[in-house]
Structure 1
Amino acid sequence: MKLTQNIILKFATVALVFTMYSCKKETNAVSKNNATTQTDQAHPKLILTAQGVKDIRAQLGDIPIFDATLEAVKEEIDAEIALGIDTPIPVDYSGGYTHVRHKRNMIVMQKAGVLYQILDDEKYAKYVKDMLMQYEALYKTLPLHPKTRSYARGKLFWQCLNDSNWLVYVSQAYDCVYNYLSEDERVKLETNLFKPFADHISIDSPQFYQRVHNHSTWGNAAVGMIGLVMGDEELLDRALYGIKGLKLDTKEKDDDGGFLNKDGKAGFLANIEEPFSPDGYYNEGPYYQRYAMYPFLIFAEGLHNVKPELKIFEYKEGVLLKSINTLLNLSDADGDFFPLNDGQKGMSYYTSALVTAVDISYHFGIQDAGLLSIASKQDRVLLDDSGLAVALGIKNGKSEPFNKQSINLSDGPKGTQGGVAILRNDDVELVFKYAAQGSSHGHYDKLSYSLYEKGEEVIQDYGLARFVNIEQKGGGNYLKENKTWAKQTIAHNTVTQNETSHFNAKYEIGSKHHSVLNYFSSENQNVQVASAKEVNAYPGTEMLRTMAIIKDEDFEKPYVLDIMKVTSDKANKYDFPYYFLGQVVQTNFKYSVPKVLTALGDKNGYQHLFVEGTAKASSDNSKLSWLNKGKFYTLTSVTNDKDQLLFTRIGANDPEFNLRREAALMLRRKDSKNTIFVSTIEAHGSYSPVTESAINSNSNIKELKVVLDSADYTAVQITNIKGKVKLFITSNEEDSKKVKHNVKINDKNYEWSGSYYFE
């Protein structure tokens, strides 16, 4: 959509005036406590810069995606202005009116400030000024928020986190209208609103601010960004390095159930240094990486523009910009982020935070042409310098596809605390988690996985138990079922021993340990493999899981081979669930259905599982086929005559219906010391409800057999329905790709170099 001609002409008439105006030396107001220093930098300078405004005005009307974004924002903000300003007394949790209104106000102010700069229309500046003055009058009267649930209460919002969100956005608005305001007005706002606001987030709330967590990143960015606009070096120092000399000694838990950081590490730089691995993986998982990337990148952009000497985009070998590529790789074919740890399904790179991330990464990074294709899909850009760069790149035809391939992402500040492997082969994606705990948002699911085809979940990870910003559901906050179900091991596709979660579901223990990579191999286009080991989840028990996506010409689509080898110092009961999505089509075992549904257990997540069917394995291979969204899938598992098979469904002991009613097939093996779980998952065929035709609805695997299992090697034989046999051998101990292996199986020698063999 083009801007109207008269607006474009207006830009031409103001261009010369603006050039003179933007070059004028500005002096910041000095606050009463003399914390604010003088600066000769023109405003805006934080995100949208004075030079950027000139460049944007020169291009307007000839940059389609930027023009369309501007038109949409203008229409949105004009409608808000027509409604008038409302700054209500705060009373609500997330999702309530006052919470939503103040959240909306921060976004509206930021956008209105940008419109003022680009369109040079004073009505937007006046709107921002009037709202800021209402907040100045309101804020100095506010006690702590009346809702007491948070470990760190805000004043506008029930938690300091949301107060920080507000200040991050409003600091941008203030920067845009800075020159519009008189010196007295700036002094008033800085003295009564911005400085006290920043002090409450930080000095008054060290349990929130003085730690390494996504919450604190928002706090650091809020304090630092308003400090940059005000020219307050003390605030900027506090943002970068934390409150110096302060360490927390409380044992208080945060809102998410994790313990607060006590080691004294704090500030924006610490929040870059600790959670990010050298590969750009953020330890809390992609859902919270997405959430944290906005303050990380928007504050970094402000630092780059105002304090270029800090070279913030080079910090820790440029990990902030590198992390965007990593985050995009942590999404499925539809752009939805994989729900590792606490993660709401459906969150995707279409969120505004990723528009920011993609634009900033392109502008300040290597101008990766693949990012332009993501920006085109997002169909909007930032109305600032970085958004202009993206818009020009798209206009000039520089866009290329963003190519997702198999990738192994390390975890931990030095990349030594496990990781996440993503195996991709054609339309099949497997996400294999062998990472560290993931801070307070971590789940107890070592060596778990989820499986996708064309962006659709096949074997699911549950994600979080929360209705974000839906007030009727626990105030929009985390529900108790997040702890009693979603975090527990049995909620994931991995082994649970003796109905007890990994690390006994204790954060203090889990946060000390991580799994270890055995090997990762993606060189062979037809065979992609990841293998990792966990030795701390259950003392005395070692788990080694090797997962592969295999593309075989005798199969319609790539299939998954899963080998979980368990070694223990005592006999245990092992439960191995497969959380499939869809409707059961067929099994090769007979099962009985209870007349009355009962829970599988009474704790550790088992209390939330109804038992819908029970069976004894009747053959060496147990099969389950199901249909989901027009596609067939078959699970084939190696079993013995002592194994139990349980159909379960989530929802027991859930009277408020907080959990989704989804199914699983669970393989239970009792009284076993050392054991191995081997299975395949095939994607095959299709069903059309229009033509009512089923194509290739049957499994292509005749037999799955373990032909060798030793300390050094495990070998699995796969026979298809035509009698063709393939053999997969994995090295359990040696991960060197240069080592030569020699294994004898059924009187035949197999020799190869590398971590695995397949033929």
Structure 2
Amino acid sequence: MKPIIMIAWLLIAINFGLISACHASDRKGLILTKEGITKIQASLGKTPLFDKTLQQLKTEVDAEIEQGIDTPIPRDFSGGYTHQRHKANFFLLQKAGVLFQILEDEKYANYVRDMFFQYEAMYKDLPLHPQTRSYARGKLFWQSLNDSNWLVYAAQAYDAIYDWLPAADRETLEDNLFKPFADHISIDSPQFFNRVHNHSTWGAAAVGMIGLVMQDEELIQRALYGLEEDGLAIGAKDDDGGFLKVEGQGAGFFANLNEPFSPDGYYTEGPYYQRYAMYPFLVFAQALNNARPDLDVLNYKNGVLLKAVDVLLNLSDADGDFFPINDGQKGMSYYNDAVVTAVNIAYFYGNKDPRLLSIAEKQGRVLLDDTGYAVAAGIRDGLAKKFTKGSENYSDGSDGDEGGLGLLRHGDEALTLLFKYTAQGLSHGHYDKLSFSLYGQGEEIMQDYGLARFVNIEQKGGGNYLPENKTWAKQTIAHNTLVQNRQSHFSGKYEIGSLHHSQLRFYDASNKAVQVISAEELNAYPGTKMQRTMAMIKDEAFEKAFVLDLFKADAQNNHQYDLPFYYFGQILKSNIDYQIPRTLKPLGDNNGYQHLYLEAEGIANSENTKFSWLDKGRFYTLTMATEQGDKVQLARIGANDPQFNLRKDPAIILSRKNAKQTLFASVIEPHGSYTPVSESAHNSNSNIAELLVLQDDDNYTAVSIKTVKGDMRYFVVANKNVNKAAKHQLKLNGQTYHWTGPFQYFYLN
């Protein structure tokens, strides 16, 4: 650290010192402890990342203090001025409180106090928010969720100045602001508070944290265990269109810890909302750990909260962006403030895992508390180790028996396959059993669309979920999975989908050259069993790893099946003779098909259909084993979208009619590269000469892959006995093959 910066921090320590003995207290802070403050103050100027974060925070808050305090009468949806102002205020309250505790400069305490009293003056007469869209309206914000955000941060600010405030001021704020605020988001809004969902996690943390500061045991118990009475009839819907699961006694913080998290630490709503929920989960847990250590919250359910941080980080691509399954916005990453909090707390309370320090280095900032100081000190002392993301299989459901989410990775994330066989995922879930997405070094190869929403952009539906989230993004055809008779899984109905989950058949990533995951779905379509096996294979005959996809449907009757692949880039070559319509028309009338323009279609005329494209300097080829009469359609998202809410992304769809028991076999093959500067193309053609289905019945599925040089490979998978110790034999092309376990990849020559 430069000498001038060290001198500056020393001057701060001298000038602000300990303001007065009356500020000292035996109270243990929610987040910043007295011991932590002492250690931090003694280390100012000696811990670079902590000092940098503190200076950035000070600069930001000082600028806001100069601007003055604005607490406008609420009127706007997300993205509007009043919404954004109140949102900025709760962040500033917490930040100013932290600065007061560390620097002990009373201007920050005065700022917090003055803002609180402005809110106190308005809140007692404040009606419900004028926007009526939400199932649970707040007062400062259009939904109680955002009111809960406010109180979680405000509780930390109140805790920071609690001992500094005169008792009369505390009584006024608690009677006229904090207690009524907590009552509104809980007692007045049971449909919001008494459920299992990320919304109620925020509600529980808000009520519990302000209860801890006020030492109000009734509020604390309410937060931990929920309201005693049911608050709403089952069947009402929330803001996301999902049905509310309203609990009686047994809701609250512990229920939200227990039900959405699997024993592995996977959060059933998906990584986007796990990231959002981790902040209230962890800051409330940290506060409880300091104020109520007897509850041992951080060890609840075998330490599931700390496990969840590791899972969350692993559910990101090479750039740190979270995989956008279910309702997930693309671009959300581990650089988000909530994940900074998660990493710091997990490091401090989770045996000081040095891998987390490498994530914190990338994030470039820390919390200004005990946990953040520990992280900054660890980085300063050179303890960081790389956080290597690997192949993993995470269970879903409270007991880990409701499907799951599988990851296959090759190399340093050169290729990452995400395979979804989860439960519904509460109201944020999509209807896409056995779907997948594929990434290469942080770039999407085969995409999951994610949500249809422009978060906090007022021009797009007030920043809220758009109608197309239901009509497109949640529908099955919007995902890389099988669609029967152009109907979505579970008929696109939450009350059906929430009753079911897919089942893992097997997962094996022990051999990095051939990693395989297989799962089945029995309930998406009555009378139809779907089974998908996906393998990530690195074969010396191929330049790069590739993905083999075997999607098997076994139905009681004949049906039409559509299997879409959502790719990106410029089409290079296909062996289909496409017909181009003169006028763009939608593929269908509902279930998401109404949002797909048909751009071209043709009939498969050989046992293999090839489709190659170029994207971001890389070549890809999709090779599909096709049958006589199969239709290949090129489509593009964007039909029936008058407000232009959808991205205009392309897809290729393999459509097969009158099929009862059928197999869709395909290979997604990355190969070569293109450099615009030198205008040179390397290995731009596929290495696969032929992909054939050799056998597909109740017992076994077998395919062959022949390279352009004549190398032959067989991949076989058992459809019944998938025990690891089971011995199998199968005759293919006159030769009998033997293997042990559910699958085998044979190198013939």
d(CA) in 2 for partners of 1:86 and 1:13? 30
Q: CA deviation at 1:491?
A: 0.3
State the distance in 2 between where 1:448 and 1:750 align: 31
Aligned to 1:550: 537
Rounded to whole Å, the distance in 1 between the matches of 2:19 and 2:728 is 76
Report Cα offsets for 1:695-721 as digits up to 9, x if no partner: 110000000011111212111111111
Q: Which of 268, 288, 306 is the matching residue for 2:291?
A: 306
The equivalent residue for 1:239 is 223
1:711-751 deviations in Å (ceiling 9; x for gaps): 12111111111000011111222221111112222221211
Q: For residues 25-36 of structure 1, what are the structure 2 equivalents within 5 Å?
A: 25=26
1:251 aligns with 2:235: yes
Q: Which one-letter code corresponds to 1:242 in the other structure? A: G
The answer for the alignment partner of 2:170 in structure 1 is: 186
Task: Identify the residue that residue 32 of structure 1 maps to in structure 2.
Answer: none
Can you list the C-alpha shifts for 1:182-216, whole angstroms capped at 9, x where unaligned?
11100000000000000000000000000000000
Give, as a single letter, the amino acid of the residue that structure 2 aligns with 1:594: P
Regions of 4+ moved over 2 Å: 1-4, 12-18, 20-25, 245-251, 262-265
Cα drift, residue 643 of structure 1: 0.2
Q: CA deviation at 1:262?
A: 3.3
2:430 paired residue among 438, 443, 455: 443
Would the alpha carbon gap of residues 748 and 237 (structure 1) be closer, same or farther in structure 2, given more than 3 Å must change? same
Does the 8 A contact of 1:15 with 1:54 survive in 2?
no
SS in 2 for 1:687: strand
Q: Which residue of 2 aligns with 1:222?
A: 206
Q: 1:668 to 1:680 in 2, by over 3 A?
A: same
Q: What one-letter code is carried by the residue in structure 2 that aligns with 1:643? A: D
From 350, 365, 373, give the equivalent of 2:358: 373
Q: Within the alignment, does 1:277 sit opposite 2:262 as a pair?
A: yes
Q: How big is the shift at 1:9?
A: 3.5
Match for residue 462 of structure 1 among 444, 449, 454: 449
Aligned to 1:38: none
TM-aligned CA distance change 1:652 to 1:13, over 3 Å: closer
Q: Kindly state the Cα deviation for residue 23 of structure 1 after the two structures are TM-superposed.
A: 5.1
SS of the residue corresponding to residue 568 of structure 1 reads strand
Structure 1: segments with no counterpart, 5+ residues:
26-40
Q: Distance in 1 between matches of 2:243 and 2:570?
A: 41
Asked if structure 1 preserves the Cα contact closer than 8 Å seen for 2:185 and 2:203, the reply is: yes
Does residue 1:667 correspond to 2:654, yes or no? yes
1:207 and 2:191 equivalent? yes
User: Kindly, what percent of the aligned residue pairs are identical?
Assistant: 61
Q: Give runs of aligned pairs for residues 252-651 of structure 1, distance below 5 A.
A: 252-264=236-248, 265-426=250-411, 427-651=414-638
Tell me the residue number matched to 1:5: 7
Q: Offset at 1:24?
A: 3.3
Q: Deviations over 1:625-651 (max 9, x none)?
A: 011111110000000121000000000
Structure 1 window deviating more from structure 2 (45-54 vs 460-469): it is 45-54
Cα distance in 1, alignment partners of residues 184 and 214 from structure 2: 17
Q: 1:680 aligns with which of 654, 667, 676?
A: 667
Q: Is the 8 A contact 1:22 1:50 kept in 2?
A: no
Match status 1:658 vs 2:658: no
Alignment partner, residue 701 of structure 2: 714
User: Does the CA contact (< 8 Å) of 1:359 and 1:390 recur in 2?
Assistant: yes
Deviation by residue 1:159-192 (Cα, 9 ceiling, x = unmatched):
0000000000010011111122111100000000
Q: How far, CA to CA, are the matches of 1:602 and 1:76 in structure 2?
A: 51
Cα deviation for residue 581 of structure 1 reads 0.8
C-alpha separation in 1, matches of 2:575 and 2:714: 24
Alpha-carbon offset, residue 22 of structure 1: 6.5
1:126 aligned onto 2:106? no
C-alpha distance in 1, partners of 2:532/2:665? 10
Normalising by structure 2, report the TM-score: 0.98
Q: Report if the CA contact (8 A) 2:595-2:641 is conserved.
A: yes
Distance 2:231 2:430 in 1: 27
CA distance in structure 1 between the aligned counterparts of 2:445 and 2:425, rounded to whole angstroms: 24
SS in 2 for 1:612: strand
- Per-residue deviation at 1:516? 0.1
SS in 1 for 2:666: strand
Deviations along 1:500-523, one digit per CA (max 9) or x if unpaired, are 000000000000000000000000
Deviations 1:142-163 (A, max 9, x none): 0000000000000000000000
Task: Summarize deviations over 1:28-79 as a string: whole Å, max 9, x none.
Answer: xxxxxxxxxxxxx24xx00112211111111111101101101111111111
Amino acid at match of 1:143: P
Query: 1:601-634 CA deviation, whole Å, 9 max, x = no partner?
Result: 0000000000000100011100110111111100
User: 2: distance between equivalents of 1:106 and 1:22?
Assistant: 23
> Which residue of structure 2 lines up, in the alignment, with residue 47 of structure 1?
31
The CA distance in 1 between the partners of 2:16 and 2:459, in whole Å, is 50
Asked if the contact 2:209–2:284 (Cα under 8 Å) also holds between the matched residues in 1, the reply is yes
Q: Is the 8 A contact 2:191 2:246 kept in 1?
A: no
The one-letter amino acid of 1:294's match is Y
1:733 counterpart residue number: 720
Q: What's the counterpart of residue 36 of structure 1?
A: none
Structure 1 residues 92-124: Cα deviation after superposition (integer angstroms, max 9, x where no partner):
000000000000000011001101111111111
Task: Give the counterpart letter for 1:5 in structure 2.
Answer: I
Cα separation, 1, equivalents of 2:678 and 2:158: 60
Q: Which amino acid aligns with 2:379?
A: I
Letter in 2 for 1:415: G
2:68 pairs with 1:84: yes
- Is 1:723 matched with 2:724? no
Once the two structures are TM-superposed, the CA of residue 275 in structure 1 deviates from its matched residue by 0.2
Q: What is the letter of the counterpart of residue 303 of structure 1?
A: L
User: Structure 1 residues 735, 247: CA separation in 2 closer, same or farther (over 3 Å shift)?
Assistant: farther
**Using the alignment, how far apart are the partners of 1:575 and 1:628 within structure 2?**
24
* Aligned twin of 1:24: 25
- Count of residue pairs brought into register by the alignment: 741
Q: 1:501-556, CA deviations, whole angstroms, 9 ceiling, x for partnerless residues?
A: 00000000000000000000000010111000000000000000000100001111
What 5-or-longer segments of structure 2 have no aligned partner? none
Alpha carbons 2:271, 2:325 under 8 Å: kept: yes
Contact 1:522 1:528 in 2 (8 A): yes
Note the alpha carbon deviations across 1:314-333, whole angstroms, 9 max, x for none. Answer: 10110000000001111011
Tell me which of 104, 125, 128 is aligned to 1:144: 128
Shift, 1:6, TM fit:
3.8
Distance 1:22 1:408, change over 3 A: farther
User: Residues of 1 paired with 2:469 and 2:586: CA distance?
Assistant: 18
Q: Measure the CA separation in 2 of the matches of 1:76 and 1:393.
A: 26
What is the DSSP-based 3-state SS (H/G/I as helix, E as strand, rest coil) of the residue aligned with 2:163? Answer: helix
C-alpha distance in 2 between matches for 1:24 and 1:665:
66
Query: Does the Cα contact within 8 Å between 1:248 and 1:261 map onto a contact in 2?
Result: no
